[in-house]
Structure 1
Amino acid sequence: MAPVRTSAAVGLALVAAVITGCSGSGSHSGSATSATPAGAGNARATPAPTESNPPGDIPDNQVYVTYRPAGGFTSFTVKVPEGWARTGQGTTTVFTDKLNTVRVTTATASAAPTVDSVTNTVVPQLKAQVTKFAEPKTTEVTRHAGRVVRLTYRGDSAKDPVTGKVVRDAFERYAFYRQGHEVDLTLSGPVNADNVDPWRIVSDSFAWR
């Protein structure tokens, strides 16, 4: 009879082990399910730090200096951010810093630019020159120099020679005119940059001399 009792004991032990194992498995499964929301909650509670100046933002404390072309066919001044790198080619002078650009181009013109002339002439030219040119909008606005034609549009920047990166830029182009002389002021920077105030300072500073 002893062997029978031993077999029964072994059988009871096996049943108990199975029940314990199933119970433990169910508890582990429930714990894993609740861990995912907890982890997500912790992630939301500690977001990545926000940059004080997103890429392309011109600092609020930026200082501006007056640019006056030397020996040009016409005389004017415009304020540009101090410390920006300056390059020139022909009738165009460019000021750049990181992702932002101020471009000043002079030309002769038989008539003052209009919304129609910029839309019908300048827009097609830019479309052929600017990669992924899009969303052109031509309007007439008022600046301290008077009424001026403004063209806004978007396009890709030139590829960075070091990183190879391309930035989606927003452009503002102002066409100033007086007595057969035209000055085109183009301001550009990353689409998401908050440069409304800096660009207003520059465009409002333009003055004929």
Structure 2
Amino acid sequence: MKVRRSVMALVMAGLAAGCSTVTPAQTQAQPQTQTQVQAPAGNDTPAPQPTESNPPGDIPDDTVFVAYRHPGQPYEVKVPEGWARTDLPTGASFTDKLNSIRIETRSAASPPTEASVRSQVHSIDIRTVDTVTRKGGEAVRIVYRADSSPDPVTGKVVKDEVERYAFYQAGHEAILTLSGPVGADNVDPWRTVSDSFHWTAS
């Protein structure tokens, strides 16, 4: 019996040596760490809308037009109020940003023709040459594209679309030139200006 007990004791000791001791704390399930990914909070504030502005060269719809008459010249034409004016011997030029209006007169023995007006324009990009009727009478109109004068500050040159009208009366030819960047929507303002031209008593 002593031998049997000794053998059993040796077996139990071996089993104890081959197994690690587990403490009561280790028998408890370890809590799992979970990372929760939260969606970003929704932004209920609407994005600010960009401030509306006219495209480059577009003349605002609320532009006010005022009459211009050169002393001693037999004509009158309306131009946008507030544009910078440069006086010329028989007229003036008016500019604002990328747009310009120029009016001048000269002596002429006969009325202008579509051929004569075309010959006066040195552009390889002529779009239209025709005779139109405006409130001040008939005029030969030529529409063409040309480079603008360099910007005095930046030196930048843009491609302009030019409308040039030649009016005639009693030995006087009036040249009305309207120009602005290609793509600018100035149909209505240019029509206002060209319709406003009329001859007056000299």
TM-score (norm 1): 0.69
- Aligned partner letter, 2:137: G
- Within 2, Cα distance between the matches of 1:108 and 1:93? 17
Q: Are 1:71 and 2:69 an aligned pair?
A: no
Matches within 5 A, 1:26-175: 49=50, 51-72=52-73, 75-119=74-118, 121-123=119-121, 126-127=122-123, 133-175=124-166
- Within 1, Cα distance between the matches of 2:106 and 2:138? 18
The residue aligned with 2:171 is 180
List structure 1 runs of 4+ shifted beyond 4 angstroms: 48-51
- Aligned partner letter, 2:68: Y
- Within 1, Cα distance between the matches of 2:107 and 2:196? 21
- Within 2, Cα distance between the matches of 1:87 and 1:195? 22
Partner of residue 205 from structure 1, selected from 190, 196, 202: 196
Runs of at least 5 residues in structure 1 that lack an aligned partner in the other structure: 1-45, 128-132
For the 8 Å contact 2:70–2:91, the answer to whether it is kept is no
1:119-172 CA deviation, whole Å, 9 max, x = no partner? 2x313xx34xxxxx5234210111001221001000110111111211110000
- Aligned partner letter, 2:59: I
Q: Measure how far apart 1:89 and its partner are.
A: 2.9
For the 8 Å contact 2:85–2:94, the answer to whether it is kept is yes
Runs of at least 5 residues in structure 2 that lack an aligned partner in the other structure: 1-46
- Between structure 1 and structure 2, the one with the greater Rg is 2
Q: Measure how far apart 1:49 and its partner are.
A: 4.9
For the 8 Å contact 2:131–2:141, the answer to whether it is kept is yes
- Within 1, Cα distance between the matches of 2:52 and 2:187? 19
- Within 2, Cα distance between the matches of 1:135 and 1:181? 25
Q: Measure how far apart 1:93 and its partner are.
A: 1.0
Q: Measure how far apart 1:118 and its partner are.
A: 1.4
